[in-house]
Structure 1
Amino acid sequence: MARSSRSSAPEPTQGRFRRILGKTITYGLILALLVALGVAVAVAAAVRNLPSFEELRRSPTAQTIRLRDVNGTVIVSIGPNYGRWLKVSETPAVMRDAMVAVEDRRFRYHFGVDPIGLARSVKVAFERRGTGRRLQGASTISQQLARNVFLSNNYSMARKAREAILAMALEWKFSKDEILELYLNKVYFGGGSYGVDAASRTFFGHGAEELSLSEAAIIAGLVKAPSRYSPTADAQAAVGRANVVLDVMVDAGVITPAQRASAAPAEVRLASEPNQNSARYFTDWAIPQLDALIDESVEPLDVWTTLDLDMQRTATASIQSNTPEGAQAALVALDRDGAVRAMVGGRDYVSSNYNRATKAERQPGSAWKLFVYMAALESGYKVDDEVVDEPVTINGWTPRNSNGRFSGTIDLRTAFAYSVNTVAAKLGDSIGYSTVANMARRFGITSELNTQPSMVLGTADVRVIDLTAAFAAVSAGGKSIQPYGITKVSTAEGRTLYERAPPPQNILVDAWVAAGITDLLQTAVNTGTGRAAQIGRPVAGKTGTTSSNKDGWFLGFSSGLTTGVWMGRDDARPVTGLQGGAAPARAFADFMRVAVANRPVEEFTTQVELPQWQLESDEEAYYGDPSLEAQFVDENGQPIELDPAQPGPQPRDTPGDGPGPDTADKPRLDRRWIDEVTGSGGDNGNRATGQRGSGQGGP
């Protein structure tokens, strides 16, 4: 009996478990059925509202967008470029096979949404969690068609859900061949071209019915990223992507290894592009921003931008006339609120539409010292503090000046004006390299930074537009500046869809820090390495040159306009005459001289009241003597030791060098200290000249 009792004891527990499991499965099935029913209802409703095949065939896919400059002049009109509508049977098999293989291998077998592809994407997203990457790679051809025809490219879970419903509705209403035909004739391939025939004519100069295997692979590779893989923008990237497509086709079994071996995307001849001006660098940068500003994908649009076509023409001319042979160049001009007035991304848009102003990351050289010296000023240094230009080694790193010489004791203003590397190294070591990096981050530099000693000389890569915005923030008195290019978007009928509101400005540094660095920047142009940037009115700026003349920079501001110029080769090879104080500074001057000609002359604010902790000497703070209003020095300029037990200043024991005996016992005011504290030194702008006016470190 005891054995029987023990054997039956677990039964109640097992029974409860089975009941719970059974209920869970039942509820799960019910929930799944309800979800499936809801999806089916949504798909059925979408099917009823779908246009017919003929209606979809006739309807335009893309908008006509007119971009206007700051004065309302049309810069460019961008609209759908359609070729001949090709039936599936008229489209070459290599084109159909390439598109299906690379975009949706199981196109013939799924119901609009690919569960296998979706599961794989979820797995990849889970493995890369924390990287901020979106769920990618799961969109079928039907989903892409639904997005292109009915939705926008704004990423959201709600949009993805609508996309899936519409994809299943398309599969319900149309055959696979009809969906593929719509897709091949409506998908965007870049260059304003929609459909394979338009893409073929744009890139190869002939209709799609003549496409070779290599050409089809190039076109199929464009769908993933039309701008990145465009053969006219980056031929090497287009060829690389086409080779990926060919490999996928072999793996999918639609071409043989022998056919793959015979294909040669690198030998494909491209059609010549129509003439286009440099304003396209700006429009290519501005147009993608529309997806984040509006949710309108059908109506024609007027886009009002910040570009000034007169400034743009001047910028183009200055770049083309000053850039050394074999080099590329970029220019960005920002108004005082961040409005982009001119943007040049290369010497010639037709030969290369790669935008070096917004995409290329290059080393800034000594232009980086903007952040080093701002961090130093904020840490307590003053523009007239004396420093020593001498050999220095920090953690095994020995910086050198470009002229190979050392000048001994100089002031901070001179060190900045002549871009003395040893002094910048000492400042970085004194205030901390993380302090410099934090200052750069504060001013909008988002590229990867390090805290090695050499970082003070500009070894981190930056973009032209970002560094220009940092200088613009200095021009704004230390307030944040965010570059922008679109002010208003309206429909052709005049209905406003978006109008920019001025964003709040953040205080990045105190006004006295901005004034101090402006003082240094102005001296660099007046007497230092940036003299070629003078334009006949106050200019503040800084040169930058990397090792072996691989990059040359000049960035500066005047009359509320801030301009950054970069020059160099795309392959980072040295270029003769590329020092920042040479070709880049001349291009800056040629542009700015015209760009600000009709603006009022503005003097810089370089003299402001310093905070109390900057005004007080250490002795004042220690002894707490409020009556001590000046620092006293002996005949050699050395501070007098004061006796805290005796109020007020005490006379010196040593005779003075005054004219009479009554002055021998009187302390002498330090004129330099007074000028520094009050900002009343009339020769501040020229203090970097004199015996120290030449032979300092390189730009």
Structure 2
Amino acid sequence: MPGDQPDPALAGQTLPPGYPAEPPPRRPWWRRFARVKLRHVLLGVLAVFMLIIAWLAITAPLSKSLQPIAAPSLTLLSVEGDPIARRGADIRAPVEVAKLPKYVPAAFVSIEDRGFYSHWGISLRGIGRALWRNLRGGGVREGGSTITQQLAKTSFLSPQRTVGRKLQEVLIAFWLEAWLTKQQILERYLSNVYFGDNVYGLRAAAEHYFSVPPEKLSVAQAAMLAGMVKAPTRLAPTNHLRLARERAALVIAAMARDHVITAAQAKSTRPASVNEEDEDEEVPTGTYFADWVLPSARAADEGEAYGAREVQTTLSSRLQQLALQTVRGAGLGKAQVALVAMRPDGQVLAMVGGKDYSRSPFNRATQARRQPGSTFKLFVYLAAMRAGLRPDDTIQDAPLRIGTWQPKNYGDSYRGTLTLRDAFAYSSNVAAVRLSEKVGRAKVIQAARDLGVTSPLNDNPSLPLGTSGVTLLEMTQAYAAVAAGAYPVRAHGIEDPDKSWWQRMWHSYAGTTSDRAFGDMRDLLAAVVQKGTGRAASLQIPVYGKTGTSQDYRDALFIGFTQDMVVGIWVGNDDNTPLGKVAGGGLPAQIFRTFVSGATGAAPAAAAPPPVEEAPPIETGDANFAIPLGDSGVDAGVQVKGGDVSVTLQPSPPGGPDRGPPPPGDRREPPLANVPPPPPQGGRDRPPPPDDDEPQG
């Protein structure tokens, strides 16, 4: 072939020494293919190995095995220093194996992982035994885990029992064995293992069960703790002392077998005595207030990761107990209840989110968005006062139509021309709607926002009647702003313990704005209790408040305040069914009076007339107009179809109430302590209208 002929250009040339005269024969194709494949396989194995190392470095950082595997214990304290709730686990500082008696770590090794010092993270014998038992049992019943695997599982993995998780556990065990000494692995294991009773780690367990540090544990105590690890809840001596002692006996026998102790020591060792349950165990783990304040408490607590911590709250044990007693004795029947009591600066003193936390931890004070009824009129009249109106200005309490919608008063009864004070006191629906349309619903919504209402509000004509769902806590802190003379007030349950009283006071009012209209609003709120729908809440001290009842008596509220306390009460059914003639001026006002009377020592007002029934029928005459009923978690919504309406405010009639000078006191909103007594009933120049019936409110 032409390719086999010598090159003429090379004829006569001498080849260099060592150069082969003939080209070497080519290797067989199958050898060349095997060589290429082997190279690819080795590269693939190296890539997989590097991926595993990267996964381990991300998933199982060694420092994580030093971290507590549960949130540390946090005890909430009342202002009196009483524990009111405890959350989290009992976790103490890590142990050092070198400082423990030799039989303490040896007890765990003897019963949990006899070959701990000889294997590389896994026990083939243990895995084989576990596989056999799992096959016989038809499922994953035993893991065959070594101490290293247990550390890998508790520190880095979920508690699921699957084949995939088991493979992850094995990989992490190899990783730990490669980078940590046996002593380090054992220390981290003993410092984090679970011992029942929400106790983690050997130090916490020794203190919890025996009131001794781990360095002082006896043989019997060490054996009992080592025996608990297999089933900590079932074998905890506080739950089953007999089972715990039987298991401890097995551990002592294993220690003797492994020559940790002598046979004579094993025979002479008596069962360990366990601490009796102390009174602190009666501290509840959850209450309505604790659930609400815990995120703030965790944020405020910047202590070490180990050890029990305590956080001071604003809750008063005395007032909380009084609140519970008050609602339990209120005769609620099947209805639910919520109560919030706070200082004018927002410090929450008591909180009741329902009749029974153990049956329903849903907090109706902070989580339920219900219709506030006429308590929402606070924002309507505040917007009017901001616009320059005064309590003695007048408004028509007469039938009103907005498009096809016609709001009505209770009993379809109207009083004609009323002062704003009287319209608010008697909770006229049509007057509130007129006023809202006059000043503008946008300003009403802005007033609500200024005072801390964050729930969605529907911009429609029924807004002033409280048809948008809000929480009781929002409404109570809004009334607290009126009591404080500045806004916004933020309800809170944690105070900074490092701040002095004057720093806390300054912080409470820092960033707030005074409002000249608050003085007029206190005038109106006082009239409600003195002569209006809130007379059942009257005491022999100045009381300011407002009643509220939603459509068909589905929600009943009273929110009010005295000199240094603001209290909101809601009564309703979780399924939003009617209460059956329970109005805000009835049961909620009575609960307010009972609670505040007990809190302040003030007696109820003498010969207070019984509350007049208030009902809120809102007739529309239009199927396209929907008044929501409110519920426990969904914002209410209203749709209105119809034209606009011309609304006018009437000037004071001749000889009637006039604008006159400001009410006594500084209109720049002095502190509540300087607020003058409520004005005389009926305004300045005329007696109050008859109160034989009562509108929504």
For the pair 1:64 / 2:73, whether they are aligned, the reply is yes
Match of 1:597 in 2: 601
SS at match of 1:453: coil
CA spacing shift, 1:170–1:451, aligned 2, 3 Å: farther
Match of 1:332 in 2: 340
The structural deviation recorded for 1:199 is 8.8
- Equivalences for residues 470-619 of structure 1 within 5 A: 470-488=478-496, 502-508=507-513, 510-511=515-516, 513-597=517-601
Cα distance in 2, alignment partners of residues 558 and 43 from structure 1: 61
Letter in 1 for 2:693: G
Letter in 2 for 1:336: P
Question: For 1:363, which of 354, 365, 371 is the aligned residue?
Answer: 371
- Equivalences for residues 187-266 of structure 1 within 5 A: none
1:276, 1:349 within 8 Å by CA — same for their partners in 2? no
2:555, 2:572 within 8 Å by CA — same for their partners in 1? yes
Letter in 1 for 2:564: G
Letter in 2 for 1:583: L
Cα distance in 2, alignment partners of residues 499 and 170 from structure 1: 49
1:47, 1:172 within 8 Å by CA — same for their partners in 2? no
For the pair 1:685 / 2:680, whether they are aligned, the reply is yes
Letter in 1 for 2:689: Q
SS at match of 1:691: coil
Cα distance in 2, alignment partners of residues 363 and 198 from structure 1: 48
Q: Which moved more, 1:675-684 or 1:472-481?
A: 675-684
SS at match of 2:462: helix
For the pair 1:292 / 2:299, whether they are aligned, the reply is yes
Structure of greater relative contact order (alpha carbons < 8 Å, 6+ residues apart): 2
The structural deviation recorded for 1:594 is 1.3
The structural deviation recorded for 1:186 is 7.8
1:47, 1:173 within 8 Å by CA — same for their partners in 2? no
The structural deviation recorded for 1:684 is 3.8
CA spacing shift, 1:63–1:454, aligned 2, 3 Å: same
Question: For 1:673, which of 635, 643, 658 is the aligned residue?
Answer: 658
For 1:489-537, what per-residue CA distance to the aligned partner results, in whole angstroms no more than 9, with x for missing partners? 69xxxxxxx99982443445523x0011111001001111111111211
Give unmatched runs, 5+ long, in structure 2.
Answer: 1-46, 92-110, 114-126, 144-156, 201-228, 241-280, 606-651, 666-675
Cα distance in 1, alignment partners of residues 450 and 233 from structure 2: 44
For the pair 1:304 / 2:312, whether they are aligned, the reply is yes
The structural deviation recorded for 1:487 is 2.2
The structural deviation recorded for 1:173 is 6.8
Cα distance in 1, alignment partners of residues 458 and 361 from structure 2: 31
Letter in 1 for 2:518: A
Match of 1:697 in 2: 695
Cα distance in 1, alignment partners of residues 418 and 488 from structure 2: 32
CA spacing shift, 1:321–1:50, aligned 2, 3 Å: closer
The structural deviation recorded for 1:395 is 3.4
The structural deviation recorded for 1:64 is 2.5
Cα distance in 2, alignment partners of residues 376 and 475 from structure 1: 18
SS at match of 1:502: helix
- Equivalences for residues 629-648 of structure 1 within 5 A: none
The structural deviation recorded for 1:387 is 0.9
Letter in 1 for 2:70: T
Match of 2:30 in 1: none
For 1:566-618, what per-residue CA distance to the aligned partner results, in whole angstroms no more than 9, with x for missing partners? 1111111111242101111111111001112289x9xxxxxxxxxxxxxxxxx
For 1:230-272, what per-residue CA distance to the aligned partner results, in whole angstroms no more than 9, with x for missing partners? xxxxxxxxxxxxxxxxxxxxxxxxxxxxxxxxxxxxxxxxxxx
The structural deviation recorded for 1:169 is 7.7
The structural deviation recorded for 1:349 is 1.9
Question: For 2:437, which of 408, 422, 429 is the aligned residue?
Answer: 429
Cα distance in 1, alignment partners of residues 690 and 553 from structure 2: 25
Cα distance in 2, alignment partners of residues 522 and 366 from structure 1: 15
Match of 2:82 in 1: 73
CA spacing shift, 1:50–1:288, aligned 2, 3 Å: closer
Higher Rg of the two aligned structures? 2
- Cα root mean square deviation, aligned: 5.1
1:428, 1:436 within 8 Å by CA — same for their partners in 2? yes
The structural deviation recorded for 1:462 is 0.9
CA spacing shift, 1:278–1:307, aligned 2, 3 Å: farther
SS at match of 2:391: coil
2:453, 2:474 within 8 Å by CA — same for their partners in 1? yes
2:301, 2:311 within 8 Å by CA — same for their partners in 1? no
Letter in 2 for 1:370: L
For the pair 1:392 / 2:397, whether they are aligned, the reply is no
Letter in 2 for 1:695: D
The structural deviation recorded for 1:293 is 2.3
Name the TM-score, length of structure 1 as normaliser.
0.56
For 1:339-367, what per-residue CA distance to the aligned partner results, in whole angstroms no more than 9, with x for missing partners? 11111111122222222111111110000
- Equivalences for residues 61-140 of structure 1 within 5 A: 61-80=70-89, 93=140
CA spacing shift, 1:552–1:49, aligned 2, 3 Å: closer
Give unmatched runs, 5+ long, in structure 1.
Answer: 1-32, 114-141, 143-166, 207-273, 491-497, 602-635, 639-669
1:81, 1:198 within 8 Å by CA — same for their partners in 2? no
CA spacing shift, 1:341–1:673, aligned 2, 3 Å: same
SS at match of 1:514: helix
Letter in 1 for 2:397: D
CA spacing shift, 1:544–1:298, aligned 2, 3 Å: same
The structural deviation recorded for 1:327 is 0.6
State, as a whole percentage, how many aligned pairs show the same letter. 31
Letter in 2 for 1:686: Q
1:306, 1:485 within 8 Å by CA — same for their partners in 2? yes
Letter in 2 for 1:517: M
SS at match of 1:462: coil
Question: For 1:453, which of 461, 477, 493 is the aligned residue?
Answer: 461
